[in-house]
């Protein structure tokens, strides 16, 4: 990223309620206890829990641009209780007991985000609106039922209820809706107000944030430090990698995850008449069963945010370039929204933006602290980081100070990194899977059987 018009990066940053003036950068070498690369939710939650629970610690956050300029200031605003892995995958990989513990930890995480907003006076429009996972067309019903069966088998059937077509339509009048899975215990937030408020909470607790300061390299072991373009931040106890989709640029993390682009288009506020036609009074997060992923949020000022994982992976895990593809994706998404809500045929759109989320090879977020290397890592939320970063930050803070926590049993803790393939294999594989997902969606929408290579694509995407 280069210096830029920060409010122009997303509607959320534009409406964060502050001028987004960068904080001063690092002014020369300093020494702290914990030095954190990245001023998004991951870095800031880690700093927050370190400082709140251990007031004597010296913590610095080093951010290349401004806090929240990455995914944390640009996302769809779902503070979701759903773990990045499907409940059936969680159960198959880690067993029923661990799947249950993980789901309970996610419920608690959503509550915890709300608690901290309340305690720290962060006005992030936190609202417990729930999620509706919709079946759009008969062919999507199987996926909705499968998720409900998986939740019910784990004892969470009550909190994940199946709605038939009439009950789903009663909540929201989406074209082709055939049913839904309703998860009430999930929230929505104003993403930028959350990340910017969190940064201020970290500072109130004594943390120091250097913005406009890029980390070039992370030194580990007895010599642990963040080497930046403005000096050195030495760390007595730990350096932390919290750069998510941008992390592959840092030496040592080139294949830890791939940046996956996600795009958003936003309407102007709709009229009362339009809302009366659409319904959606509960303001739940909406998504369908599309393999290419879609998510819709009703904003507090009456707009519809429509997000999708659309633009293709860029060679070498780049996070710059591909502007023409983003343009194409946004205009296709404006059209897609009228498929969802035909009554919006003439709706005006005010914003379009995109950002990058981080996808690890096993689709499972990773939190780890190696005391010998004095290296902490937390990354790989695959588009579910608004809530999961809180869980990850709490866990990593405990690991760094050596405090026992039941969170250390969860599947995101301490598992070995599975690296992505080197280029050009990575580009070929990711582009192939992205293309296959589109073909699978097209076949399902047209009532055709899945393409012959669907099992291979699913296995490669390994969710």
181 binds ligand FAD (CB under 6 A): no
Return the closest-CA partner of residue 337 out of 282, 281, 272, 264: 264
Q: Is residue 42 a contact residue for ligand FAD (CB under 6 A)?
A: yes
With binding defined as CB under 6 A, does residue 243 bind ligand FAD?
yes
Give the separation between CA 389 and CA 242, rounded to whole angstroms: 10
Q: Which is nearer to ligand FAD, 217 or 448 (CB)?
A: 217
Question: Does residue number 381 form part of the binding site for ligand FAD (CB under 6 A)?
Answer: yes
Angle CA(307)–CA(296)–CA(183) in degrees, nearest 5? 130
Say how far apart CA 58 and CA 34 lie, in whole Å: 7
**Does residue 80 bind ligand FAD (CB under 6 A)?**
yes
Q: Rule CB under 6 A: is residue 307 a binding residue for ligand FAD?
A: yes
Position 64 contacts ligand FAD (CB under 6 A): yes
393 contacts ligand FAD (rule: CB under 6 A): no
Kindly tell me which residue out of 246, 306, 369, 427 binds ligand FAD, with binding defined by CB under 6 A. 246
DSSP state letters, 286-324: EE---TT-EEEEE-TTS-EEEEE--SPPPGGG--S--HH
Residues contacting ligand FAD: total by CB under 6 A: 43
Q: Could you say which of 103, 106, 110, 242 contacts ligand FAD (CB under 6 A)?
A: 242
A 10 A CB-CB count for 361 gives: 18
Kindly state the smallest distance separating residue 1's Cβ from ligand FAD, in Å. Answer: 6
**Antiparallel, parallel or unpaired: β 30-37 and 231-241:** parallel
For residue 75, state whether it binds ligand FAD (rule: CB under 6 A).
Answer: yes
Q: At what angle do helices 41-53 and 385-401 cross, to 10 degrees?
A: 40
- Residue closer to ligand FAD by CB (options 11, 162) is 11
Closest residue to ligand FAD, judged by C-beta, is: 385
Query: β-strand 59-62 against 161-163: which pairing, if any?
Result: unpaired
Q: What are phi and psi of 5, to 5 degrees?
A: -80, 95
Q: Which is nearer to ligand FAD, 152 or 232 (CB)?
A: 232
Q: How far apart are CA 224 and CA 233, in angstroms?
A: 9
Looking at 27-35, 68-76, 137-145, 421-429, which segment touches ligand FAD (CB under 6 A)? 68-76
Stretch that binds ligand FAD, among 13-21, 323-331, 380-388, 414-422 (CB under 6 A): 380-388
214 binds ligand FAD (CB under 6 A): yes
Q: Please state the closest distance from residue 98 (CB atom) to ligand FAD, in A.
A: 21
Contact window for ligand FAD (CB under 6 A) among 243-251, 411-419, 420-428, 434-442: 243-251
**Residue 210 touches ligand FAD, criterion: CB under 6 A:** no
User: Which of these segments, 28-36, 266-274, 386-394, 418-426, binds ligand FAD (CB under 6 A)?
Assistant: 386-394
**Which structure tokens are listed for 361?**
């090879």
How big is the chain, counted in residues? Answer: 463
Whether residue 44 contacts residue 120, with contact meaning beta carbons closer than 8 Å, is answered with no
Q: What is the dihedral of CA 112, 118, 124, 129, to 10 degrees?
A: 60
Is the separation of the CB atoms in 84 and 383 below 8 Å?
yes
The Cα–Cα gap between 100 and 107 comes to: 11
| CA R_g for the chain | 21
Would you count residue 219 as binding ligand FAD (CB under 6 A)? no
How many Å separate Cα 31 from the centre of its chain? 31
Does 365 interact with ligand FAD (rule: CB under 6 A)?
no
Which one of the spans 34-42, 156-164, 314-322, 394-402 is the region binding ligand FAD (CB under 6 A)? 34-42
Which residues in this chain contact ligand FAD in the complex, by CB under 6 A?
Answer: 37-43, 62-65, 69-72, 74-78, 80, 214-215, 242-246, 250, 262, 264, 295, 307, 355-357, 381, 383-387, 389
């Amino acid at each position: 990223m280069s210096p830029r018009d920060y409010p122009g990066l997303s509607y959320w940053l534009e409406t964060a309620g502050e001028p987004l003036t960068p904080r001063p950068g690092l002014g020369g070498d300093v020494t702290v206890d914990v030095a954190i690369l990245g001023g998004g939710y991951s870095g800031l939650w880690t700093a927050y829990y370190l400082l709140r629970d251990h007031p004597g610690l010296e913590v610095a956050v080093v951010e290349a641009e401004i806090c929240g300029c990455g995914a944390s200031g640009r996302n769809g605003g779902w503070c979701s209780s759903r773990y990045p892995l499907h409940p059936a995958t969680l159960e198959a990989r880690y067993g029923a007991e661990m799947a249950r513990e993980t789901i309970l930890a996610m419920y608690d995480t959503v509550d915890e985000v709300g608690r901290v907003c309340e305690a720290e006076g962060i006005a992030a429009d936190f609202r417990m609106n729930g999620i509706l996972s919709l079946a759009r067309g008969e062919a999507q019903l199987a996926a909705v039922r499968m998720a409900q069966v998986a939740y019910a088998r784990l004892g969470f059937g009550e909190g994940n209820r199946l709605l038939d077509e009439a009950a789903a339509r009663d909540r929201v009048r989406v074209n082709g809706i055939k049913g839904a899975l309703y998860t009430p215990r999930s929230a929505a937030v104003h993403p930028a107000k959350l990340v910017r408020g969190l940064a201020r909470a970290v500072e109130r607790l004594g943390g120091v944030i250097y913005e406009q300061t890029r980390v070039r390299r992370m030194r580990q072991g007895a010599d642990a430090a963040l080497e930046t373009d403005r000096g050195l931040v030495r760390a007595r106890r730990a350096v932390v990698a919290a750069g998510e989709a941008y992390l592959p640029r840092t030496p040592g993390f080139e294949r830890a995850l791939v940046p996956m682009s996600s795009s958003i288009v936003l309407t102007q506020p709709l009229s009362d008449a339009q809302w009366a036609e659409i319904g959606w009074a509960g303001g739940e997060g909406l998504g369908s069963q599309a393999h290419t992923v879609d998510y819709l949020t009703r904003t507090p000022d009456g707009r519809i945010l429509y997000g999708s994982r659309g633009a293709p992976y860029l060679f070498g895990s780049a996070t710059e370039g591909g502007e023409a593809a983003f343009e194409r994706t946004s205009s296709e998404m404006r059209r897609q929204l009228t498929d969802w809500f035909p009554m919006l045929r003439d709706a005006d759109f005010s914003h379009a933006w995109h950002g990058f989320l981080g996808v690890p090879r096993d689709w499972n977020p990773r939190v780890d602290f190696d005391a010998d290397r004095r290296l902490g890592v937390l990354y790989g939320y695959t588009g579910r980081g608004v809530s999961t970063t809180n869980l990850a930050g709490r866990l990593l803070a405990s690991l760094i100070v050596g405090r026992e926590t039941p969170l250390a049993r969860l599947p995101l803790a301490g598992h070995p990194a599975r690296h992505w393939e080197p280029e050009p294999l990575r580009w070929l594989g990711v582009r192939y899977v992205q293309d296959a997902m589109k073909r699978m969606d097209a076949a399902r929408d047209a009532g055709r059987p899945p393409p012959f290579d669907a099992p291979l694509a699913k296995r490669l995407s390994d969710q």
